[in-house]
Amino acid sequence: MVELIEHISAETDPSHGKVPRDRTMAERMQLGIIPINKPCGPSSHEVGAWVQRLTGAIKAGHSGTLDPQVSGVLPVALDDATKALTFMLKSDKEYVGIMRFHRAVDAARVRRLFAEHVGKIKQLPPVRSAVKRVQREREIYVLELLELDGRDALFHVSCEAGTYIRKLCHDLGRSAGTGANMVELRRTRAAGFSEVQCCTLQQLSDALWLWKERGDESELRKYVLQPEQVLKFKRIIIVDGAIEALCAGAQLALPGVAKFEKGIARNETVMLLSLKGEMVAIGAALMSEKEMKEGTKGLAVKTVRVVMRAGTYPRLWKKHEGSVHDGEEGRTSEKDG
């Protein structure tokens, strides 16, 4: 249960914005994040493009590229939700896969090898990768042997984003002195989604048909999720008068904060939500919980990415001495720079 601390008493104007659960299906699609069960064969880019064509979205993007031969969880964001993709990419990942040792090994030895590779490891990205080939550190949280059949090891791994599982298999084989390669891989969790939450492209197509042709959106609502549901950062609730200022590029000053989640630390990534619970922006906290409790002015959050469309709430502020004020209430969102 999220525990919120009230900073000031504030009410929201019902004539602007909308509680997320009350959005129409068309409005949900504009902020839609769809966890796709990617099949083996197509690239992640192709799957994203198919989802874009099926939904009629203006733009789409995916979180965490999977190789064509890898299946599993591939979240695809539509239109305004693509603004949150950067933050979804940072989430931990989980996989189930099969690696093949080039010579026979026993289960006890494999378990010892796996235990040695839990924690911080060094990886050099493969030659065919989208990033610069420099050694980097990644963390393996869990690496367990599920079954050993001859030279084939069925394994489960939970790891930091950006870990190359194919390279991990290669390094395990080198440590074993036998050599090894990845045979099969499936991603079972990404961006907070598990594989049981995912839909296939056919299921998505069927749900879209039911909505468009029969007016039945019940199936589609299961698959098209909202940023407020997906992102798990701590929350700061802001007053109506600060919203349009943030959408115009301002930073959030403390007088614009209505409530904030307990335990916020300086530099922590936070979600800025309206009093109705709508995602406004994502930012970095410039004050801790204690500082927000005790303070009355100053910048509280540096806005990193605005998600809400400008004009959703009215402009209630005016320029004054380098800051942005929202009228008579005196809520302040200071301009960057």
Tens of pLDDT, residue by residue over 31-40, are 999 999 999 9
Q: Is the pLDDT of residue 192 over 90?
A: no
Q: What is the pLDDT of residue 329?
A: 39
Task: Please name which of 138, 172, 142 lies closest in space to residue 158, comparing C-alpha atoms.
Answer: 142
Element (H, E) at 206: helix 201-214
Task: Please name which of 9, 35, 26, 11 lies closest in space to residue 194, comparing C-alpha atoms.
Answer: 35
Q: State the average pLDDT over residues 77-96.
A: 92
Phi, psi of 178 (to 5 degrees): -110, -25
Q: What is the pLDDT of residue 323?
A: 42
Q: Is the pLDDT of residue 8 over 50?
A: yes
Distance CA(147)–CA(115), nearest Å, equals 15
pLDDT confidence tier of residue 90, bands split at 50, 70 and 90: confident
Q: What is the pLDDT of residue 336?
A: 44
Share of the chain above pLDDT 70, in %: 92
Angle between helices 107-116 and 165-176 (to 10 degrees): 120
Amino acid at 144: E
This prediction's pTM:
0.87
Element (H, E) at 86: helix 85-89
Which one of 13, 22, 67, 240 is the catalytic residue? 67
Q: How many C-beta atoms surround the C-beta of residue 181 within 10 A? A: 12
Q: What is the pLDDT of residue 293?
A: 93
- What does the mean pLDDT of the chain come to? 91
Element (H, E) at 143: strand 136-149
Q: What is the pLDDT of residue 76?
A: 97
| Catalytic (active site) residue 80 | no
Amino acid at 69: Q
Distance CA(185)–CA(156), nearest Å, equals 10
Kindly state the greatest CA–CA separation across the chain. 76
